[in-house]
């Protein structure tokens, strides 16, 4: 017996995410994970808070030395995050 009106689960999840407006939250979470992966566990541990809005990733760093190092490598970090994300999501990185 063949079912009519069947929908694949990935299509159903995509529709659910769009219907309930969860896209921004999922992108934000993926960006935060990409940050942790791109800077490694050493700098990830001293990142106090992260905030992402309109293509800008704001990160508060606990150490001034680490903040300076990350600032010097921010273009490379942005490129790595975008590579992990698979698209140009992060346009700028602000370190506090």
For the chain, what are the domain ranges? 9-95
Q: Is the pLDDT of residue 2 over 90?
A: no
In the prediction, which pLDDT does 7 show? 86
The fold adopted by the segment(s) 9-95 is Alpha-Beta Plaits (3.30.70)
Q: Is 6 exposed, middle or buried (0-12, 13-18, 19+ CB in 10 A)?
A: exposed
pTM of this structure: 0.86
Check: CB of residue 61 under 8 Å from CB of residue 70: yes
In the prediction, which pLDDT does 1 show? 62
């Amino acid at each position: 017996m063949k079912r009519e009106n069947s929908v694949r689960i990935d299509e159903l999840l995509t529709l659910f995410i769009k219907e309930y407006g969860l896209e921004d939250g999922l992108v934000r979470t993926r960006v935060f994970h990409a940050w942790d992966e791109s800077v490694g566990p050493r700098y990830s541990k001293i990142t106090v808070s992260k905030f992402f809005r309109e293509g800008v990733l704001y990160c508060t760093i606990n150490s001034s030395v680490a903040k300076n190092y990350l600032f010097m490598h921010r273009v490379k970090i942005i490129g790595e995050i975008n590579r992990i994300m698979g698209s140009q999501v992060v346009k700028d990185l602000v370190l506090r």
